[in-house]
Amino acid sequence: MKKLFVAVALLTSVVLVNAQSSTTTTTKETKTTTKTTQLKDHVCTAACKDGKHVYAHGEKGHKCTDACKKKS
């Protein structure tokens, strides 16, 4: 009976180890790399005043907010 429990425990651990994959991590890394290479340099507009810049979506220095994500 002990051998049966040990066998089931070993089989379960092998299945659990093999069930995990790294494809999700690789996909996220690829998306992040793609986004950083597509950013444009900032061009000042009328919204930039007194040394404070307003970055448009897709410009270097822009940080997306919830409102920004809804637009795109």
**What are 6-55's pLDDT values in tens digits?**
999 999 888 887 776 655 555 555 555 554 457 888 888 888 888 888 88
Amino acid at 8: V
Q: Is the pTM for the entire model greater than 0.75? A: no
Cβ–Cβ < 8 Å for 68, 57: yes
Kindly provide the residue ranges of all beta strands, DSSP E only, lying in 1-72, ordered along the sequence. Answer: none
Domain ranges of the chain: 2-71
Cβ–Cβ < 8 Å for 23, 4: no
